[in-house]
Amino acid sequence: MQPGDSVKKPIAGYWAANPLVAEIDEIAAGSFKLRQPPEIQGSGYVVKSLESALWAFYNSSSFAEGCLLAVNLGDDVDTTGAVYGLLARGFYGECGRQEKWISQLVDRTLIASFGDRLLTLSRSL
């Protein structure tokens, strides 16, 4: 099998001209569906973080369940949790928010103001 063989191909010939790096191709082919911890590990290495976050998303049925799966993988839990959170928020949307967790954040007003300022800045670019 060549890189890109198992990846969906919306544009004919695209992956032949622009092959994925082998590690990314493996994830795109669904490695996260086949592995279990300890093969799946939280890590600061972006490729492993992506695989771990996808594993948690694939093996859960709610935002909270997947988040706990992601961070309980250990090692670099903030990176894995952040990647999972971005993926899961895209899927679960606003209803995936965990108000119980948000209400317990230290300086949550400050954090929210940073988010608001980033959003405003992004709209001005």
Burial state string for 28-56 with b = 16 or more CB within 10 A and e = fewer than 16: bbebbeeeeeeebbbbeeeebbbbbbbbb
Q: What is the mean pLDDT of the chain?
A: 88
Phi, psi of 64 (to 5 degrees): -65, -45
Are the beta carbons of 44 and 23 closer than 8 angstroms?
Answer: no
How high is the pLDDT of residue 30?
Answer: 94
| CA gap 85, 68 in Å, rounded | 11
pLDDT, tens digit, 9 for 90 and up, residues 19-36: 889 999 999 999 999 999
Structure tokens at 115: 């988010």
Secondary structure (H, E, C), 52-116: HHHHHHHCCCCHHHHHHHHHCCCCCHHHHHHHHHHHHHHHHHHHHCCHHHHCCCCCHHHHHHHHH
The mean pLDDT value for 1-29 works out to: 78
Domain boundaries, the chain: 35-124
pTM metric for this prediction: 0.77
For the chain, what percent of residues have pLDDT higher than 90?
57
pLDDT, tens digit, 9 for 90 and up, residues 95-122: 666 788 888 889 999 998 998 999 899 9
How high is the pLDDT of residue 1?
Answer: 45
- Rg of the chain on CA atoms, in Å: 17
pLDDT, tens digit, 9 for 90 and up, residues 35-78: 999 999 988 899 999 999 999 999 999 999 999 999 999 899 99
Confidence of residue 3 (pLDDT cuts 50, 70, 90): very low
